[in-house]
Amino acid sequence: MNVLLTGSAGFIGSHIAEALTASGHRVRGLDTRPDALGGGGADVRDAAAVARRLEGVDAVCHQAAMVGLGVDVLDLPAYTSVNVQGTAVLLAEMARAGVGTLVLASSMVVYGEGAYACGTHGPVRPGPRPEEALRAGRFEPDCPRCGRPLAPGAVGEDTAPDPRNAYADTKLAQEHLAASWARATGGAVAALRYHNVYGPRMPRDTPYAGVAAIFRSRLLAGEAPLVFEDGGQRRDFVHVRDVARANVLALERFAAGPPARGALRAYNIASGEPRTVGDMAAALADAFGGPAPQVTGGYRLGDVRHIVARPDRARRELGFSPSVAFADGMEEFARQPVISS
């Protein structure tokens, strides 16, 4: 299969390129930076460049995006330009070229807070946590109906989206645009909602890096990882090679015969074994030999407390199951050479 891979020079995209090539596919890259495929120097917002790279392509794997929560509201134009406009240009050119299969890099951030249950009111969706509560060290969301503590659970793909920051808004916009494209063209979209991806080639020294990369940068400098809130935030840390394999499986499954034409199908791509952020910081510090993490009680508006997933649909429909154990992945991540942003 001939595959166009956008974001081919990126952290996740570079691993997908290797996984696709190893599976016998022919991969064409598109990235603003140089990549191993000779596809650098092109912007996904450039319709002419996208059109050239779509010639002879059977399917598209769309990874190009500006990532992270953002620093402040001044980031809104950049996130919208790259993530929303770039996706719109890609979809329009795919329609023009007659390419009908898309695997989209989505994210668990589209859910907002994860799944919760109240002992009195059953399943509920708490709103954004008030800053006064965060400032006072009250990090767990309360029942929006009675104010009592909630029990966190795991989100499924049919959970209603509730984005809480600029990045999440644009990832959900990508899904909506892709769904509209599929309905209009009869195409098929696999939206892979990545959870917290980590592993080799994860960039450092950028305010948009993931928490694992930020902790690793401090450890490399001989400094303790600084853990926000009380460290009890639950996440699902999934290795980048597992994410790359999920992309290959989705491309092959959807190219051969998707669950439905003219529609988007979402999949949680996760390990299925949630950990706290404090657990992850401790595991990484242990792999480095210290120093131990420091819990700061700090917070960021737009962060959610718990977001973990059930990857059952990906296992059932794509044949995906994670292969890299958390402890092994953290040991490997600690040993990897540093990659600058």
Catalytic residues: 167
**DSSP, residue by residue, 8-19:** TTSHHHHHHHHH
Neighbours of 316 (CB within 10 A): 10
Cα(312)–Cα(217) distance, integer angstroms: 33
Sort residue 252 into left (φ over 0), alpha (ψ -120 to 50) or beta. alpha
**Which residues have CB under 8 Å from 31's CB, separation 6+?**
6, 7, 8, 9, 10, 13, 39, 40, 42, 64
**Amino acid identity of 84?**
V
Read off the tokens for 223: 């400094």
Cα(258)–Cα(188) distance, integer angstroms: 7
